[in-house]
Structures are given as structure tokens and as C-alpha cells.
A and B are shown apart, each in its own frame.
Chain A
Amino acid sequence: MLDLFSQLLTDYTLRTVALGAATLGIVGGGLGSYAVLRGQSLLGDAISHAALPGIALAFLITGSKAPLPLMLGAAATGIVATLFIIGVTNTTRVPYDSALALALSAFFGVGLVLLTYLQQHAGAAQAGLDSFLFGQAAALVEHDVVVMAVLGGIALLALLLFWKEFKLLAFDPDFGRSLGFPIRMLDIVLTTLLVVAIVIGLQTVGVVLMSAVIVAPAAAARQWTDRLSVMVALAATFGALSGVSGAVVSGATANLPTGPTIVLCMGTVVIVSLLLAPNRGLLWRWWRQWRTSRRLRQERVLYDLYTLAAKHGAGDRPHEAATLDAMVSGSTRTAYVLRRLAEQGLVAETSDERWHLTDEGLEEARRLADKRNLAPDATIDDA
């Protein structure tokens, strides 16, 4: 594995493939962030599937497999599909998700038919076209990568240039409109940039799984941050790393298609992020919840001892753990909590297994009562 990555520096083909995969990851992650935030994850899927007939048509017309015509064809049908979805949603009662599904399957179906036709009639030259289904990084040549980088670079540049306008579009389009920004125009531009991000990755990842490149790095990045700029940068980084790893691994392994491998890498990043990210990660949240409830239980017991002390007018008067159990209705873990409090020197146990506050504990309880705005006599309950 390490060996593979060291080859990156020396092997020309491998380097080309890695650069291509990195480009599509960066652009897909960056623009995908906006798609995810605007609830357009599935639009990416529709666009990429709808690109297939465009690729086939472009080949039929030009007879060449040069990247630019194929990408143009892909973009054309991708945009037509988007317009179809918007048109159907606006003019009929068909809901958005149904329109998406409709466009996706219809365009993809036409694409498959065209592909089959080409396979039977157009001789050997088209043989590579079906690699657009699952992607074939190994077929990337320097020229392809240059085209990808130029188009992707333009898309990213536009994203940076109109950063604040796109943020407004994504967060509060109505307010943006009231400020006089041409929100519909911005929407069209941002969607077009998304189309660019998708078509430049199709040769490497394939139409079937390209939407994962749009969604996965962005979804993973969202877990780690609450800032849009950091999210976009992280998504681009995740996209680049997964792209390179996936392309390199699939390139080095016979019969391992590139698209699925890259998507697997991205999936791993997503899972790790869902579990581990601070604040939003599942494990992180569980751990924090556990810690908080433990602390609150301790405070509760400390406070109960304090109320008892206030009631009896003496802080060091000992009480049985069972009394404290009864105060926190139904809790049976008081003994354990008391022992933990004793470790911190806040309570002490008498020889007859009863508990009382230490001076330190009394101080701490007073501080807590103050902080939480609890006067002891006001909260003595007779549970």
C-alpha cells in the first residue's frame, strides 16, 4: 500500500490518474457542499444519470472520444434533465422527488439504449464508452486531466468569487431577493457549476455513483464544523483524499472498477465522521451525555445532602444512603455516586455507613445552589 503511494511520485500513469481523481474530489466536495446544504443531494444523482445519453449522443455526432465534446454532451442532457424537473414541479402537481425519479430513470434508460446501439453498430471505437457506467481511471490521459482541472478550476473560482452571494442564496433566498440580488440567476449559475462538477468526474467515477462524490464528502465535512468556509474546504479535502486513494487502489488491482472504489473510500470517511466528529458525532455525543448525566447525578446527591443539612442545621450530620436514594425518586445508584464524591473529598462516610458533607463539600454545594439559583428551603421535597 505504502509502496503504491510512493509510486505516485515516480509513475507517470499513476500520477495522472491520481491528479484526475484529486481534481474531481476537490470540485465535487466543494460544490457538493452547497448541494447538500440546499437539499439537492438527489438532484446530483439525476444530473449524473441523465448525462449518459448526452455522452452517447456526443459520441454519435462527433465520432470521437475527446473529453471536451463528451463532457459538453453530458452537461447538455444533465441541464435538460434539471430543467425538466423544475418545469414538471412548477407546472404540474407531481412532487419534486417523483419528478427527480422520473427524470433519472427516463434519461438513464435512453442512455442505456443508445449505448447498446453504439456497441452493436459503431464498431470497436466505442468500446470504451461503457466505462462511463462505473468509471475507469486507468483510461485517463494527461489531456483529460488538463480539461478536468481547467473546468473544475473555473467552477471553484466562481464559487469563491460569489461566495457571499451563494451563501445568501443557500441560507435565505427571500431576504436575498429583498436586497435586490437576482436570486433566480444565482440559482441557475450555482446549479450549472454543480453540473460542471459532475461531468468532469464521470469518466473516472461513472454516472451511476457520481452523486456519491457530490454528497459523501460534504455530508462528512458537515459533521466536523459549523462554519461554511471550513465545511467547503474540508469537503474538498475529503474528496481529494478519497479520490486519490480510490483511483490508486483500483488502478493497482485487476478488475476493480474505479467508481465503486472511490465511493467506498468516501463511505469510510462518512462513517468515521458520523461516529467520531466532535459535537455531532454519535460516539462523541454518547460520551458527553454520559459524562453530563454523571456530573448531574453527583451534583444532585451533593445538593440533597446540603438540603438535609440545612433542614437539621448541621452540615456534618450523617445520613444513610437510603435516605438520599429516596430523595432522588427511584434512584438506586446513590451508593456509587457517594463513593465517587468521597474520592473527590466532598463527602465522608462514618463508621456506621452513613454519609455527611465535608467542609469542602458544603462549600461546593453552596456554590452550586447559588449557581443554579436554588435556595435549600425552597426545594425540600417530601418524595
Chain B
Amino acid sequence: MPDADPALTVRDLTVAYNEEPVLWDIDWTVPAGTLTGIVGPNGAGKTTLLQAILGIETPAAGQVRIFGQSYEAARDRVGYVPQRGSVDWDFPTDALDVVLMGLYGRLGWIRRPGAEEKEEAHAALEQVGMADYADRQISQLSGGQQQRVFLARALVQEADLYFMDEPLQGVDATTERALFDLLRTLQQRDCTVVAVHHDLQTVPEYFDRVLLLNVRRIASGPVEEVFTEENLRRTYGGRVGFLRKNESPISDSASAPNRKEESRA
């Protein structure tokens, strides 16, 4: 049952850690059932944007609605994959235990995960191809394997809307494809996925929609409309060592100037 409301609406969002805002007046809509990429240079505020949406950072101003509700009300419908570097991987725990954390929200206070939950966690590890590593101490996993454990932890959340911060960081090419197929499967189940992505080459192939971010929203909308040379240059500033396939190298004047406006779905 597709939602009438967009999966995510962000209005006038501004976030500042110190004096300078790291996000300035962001307006952004993510239609339900889409696969949306967020791209932008290091320090553009991609992680901060996700954290502000998820109530981890408090915005200075602005509003976030998830399926038309506040985050608190819609929390059970949201899943999160943090950036891998955000935790201490030497923590004394194993892969299965980390995946189980995805169920803590549903379990509520004090109750511990039982056999049923462990089964679910195992199934999720299976989905990301990590079933054999369930008992492995997490520091003994490779970077890509750690990333997959995080993804499995989000899968057990059984959310309708997923936020993933660089879910493919450090994953090899074959695994990347497999994991993206997984995201497609999620999408076919009417899930909405928002993922920070660094590899510009694969953006058109992987995502339906894209948000180009650098403190401000540079552009957002369907990939074929907004993922242009011109917008990328405005996002990354100056030269982008990247050229889209099947497109002439420099076509400044050719790219439409009015595409910075979000084309609302």
C-alpha cells in the first residue's frame, strides 16, 4: 500500500555545530518507494543531514516530516545505517549481537532479545552474505564485512524508510552489486531508501533520484534531470574529474540553467 504522503519532507532545515551553519535552509522531498542518492564532497553535511532527520542532531531551524508525521511518531518505520567509522570496532561483541541491536527499538526497555530475535538476525546476516561470520568478533571482520553487518542490522528493523550513510564504503565490486540488488529488492517491497554515495560513476545506474548537497541543496530530483555536469560542478566546486558516459566533455552552455529547481514528484 503506497503512501499518499511523501516518505520524507524536509523544510527550511538549518544545522550549525559552531557559528557557521553546516546545513543551510534545506528543502527536500523524497517520494515514497524511490531509491535516492545523496552526493556531495567531504564535509558537505551529508551525515549531518541524516542525523538531523533522525533526531541525533538538533537542528537550529526547520521541520522534518516522515510519512507526514513527526520523527517520534514515525520512528518505528525508519531504519538507519550509520557511517562505519562512527563506532569502535574493537568493542567486545560479535556480528550477530550487533545485528540484534536493530531489534532493540521493537523490544523496548529492559527486555532482552530471545531465540526468535536471534533467528531474525541470522536471516538478515544471510541476506547480506555474512551467515558464516555470525560469531566473529567484529574487529576481526574486514571493512566491507563490517559494512554488511551494519546493513543487516538495518534490515532487521523492517523499516519502510531507510537512511544509509555510505553503505557501500569499502565494499568490493561484486559485493557492491549484490548489496545494491538487495536495496532494489527492498524498493520492490515498497521501501524507500536514501543512501549517501560517493561513487559518481554508479549514481545513474543505482539511483532513481539524487540530492546534490554542499551545505545548501544544490539540486534534487530524478537522476536524469538533475545529475548534470553543471550541477556537479556547482556541488564540488571547480573541476570535477568526472564525465558522464555518453556525454560530451564540456557543455556548459548546453546544460539548462533552470534545473537547479527541484522538480517535485
Contacts and interface: CB of A to CB of B under 8 A. Distances in A.
Nearest to A93: B18
B82 A174 contact: yes
A164 interface: yes
A161 interface: yes
Given A178-B78, A225-B92, A226-B93, A172 B86 contact: yes
Interface centre among A162, A168, A180, A222 (most CB of B within 10 A): A180
B112 interface: yes
A204 B55 CA distance: 44
A179 B105 contact: yes
A231 interface: yes
Contact of A174 (B56, B98, B153): B56
Given A171-B93, A181-B104, A227-B92, A165 B109 contact: yes
A180 B78 CA distance: 11
Nearest to A227: B92
Contacts of B98: 171
Contacts of A177: 54-56
A113 to B, nearest CB: 37
B82 A172 contact: yes
A276 interface: no
Interface in B104-120: 104-105, 107, 109-110, 112-113
Given A172-B101, A177-B55, A179-B104, A226 B82 contact: no
A170 interface: yes
A163 B101 contact: no
B190 to A, nearest CB: 21
B72 A180 contact: yes
Nearest to A161: B110
B194 to A, nearest CB: 13
Interface in B78-95: 78, 80, 82, 86-88, 91-94
A37 interface: yes
Contacts of B93: 167, 171, 226-228
Nearest to A170: B91
B92 A222 contact: yes
B75 interface: yes
Contacts of B88: 37, 171
A12 interface: no
Contacts of B137: 226
Contact of B110 (A162, A172, A175, A228): A162
Contacts of B87: 171-172
Nearest to B98: A171
B103 to A, nearest CB: 9
Interface in A152-173: 161-165, 167-168, 170-172
A228 B94 CA distance: 10
A171 B82 CA distance: 12
Interface residues of B, number: 27
Nearest to B136: A226
Contact of B91 (A37, A164, A174, A230): A37
Given A171-B101, A178-B78, A181-B104, A164 B112 contact: yes
Nearest to B50: A178
A95 B98 CA distance: 31
Contacts of B63: none
Nearest to A226: B137
Nearest to A225: B92
A174 B83 CA distance: 10
Interface string A125-167: 0000000000000000000000000000000000001111101
Interface string B32-61: 000000000000000000010011100000
A225 B110 CA distance: 24
A217 to B, nearest CB: 14
A228 B93 CA distance: 6
B56 to A, nearest CB: 5
B19 to A, nearest CB: 12
Interface in A174-191: 174-181
A164 B75 contact: no
A164 B86 contact: no
Interface centre among B75, B86, B91 (most CB of A within 10 A): B91
Contacts of B56: 174, 177-178
Nearest to A39: B88
Contacts of A227: 92-94
B104 A164 contact: yes
Contacts of B113: 164
Nearest to A222: B92
Contact of A178 (B80, B107, B110): B80
Contacts of A37: 88, 91-92
A228 B80 CA distance: 24
A42 B257 CA distance: 56
Contacts of B92: 37, 222, 225-228, 230-231
Contact of B80 (A162, A168, A175, A225): A175
Interface in B139-153: 153
Given A37-B92, A172-B82, 6 more contacts: A164-B112, A172-B86, A174-B86, A178-B55, A178-B75, A227-B93
18 contacts: A162-B110, A164-B113, A167-B93, A170-B91, A171-B88, A171-B93, A172-B101, A178-B55, A178-B56, A178-B78, A179-B104, A181-B104, A181-B105, A226-B137, A227-B92, A227-B93, A228-B92, A230-B92
Interface of B: 51, 54-56, 72, 75, 78, 80, 82, 86-88, 91-94, 98, 101, 104-105, 107, 109-110, 112-113, 137, 153
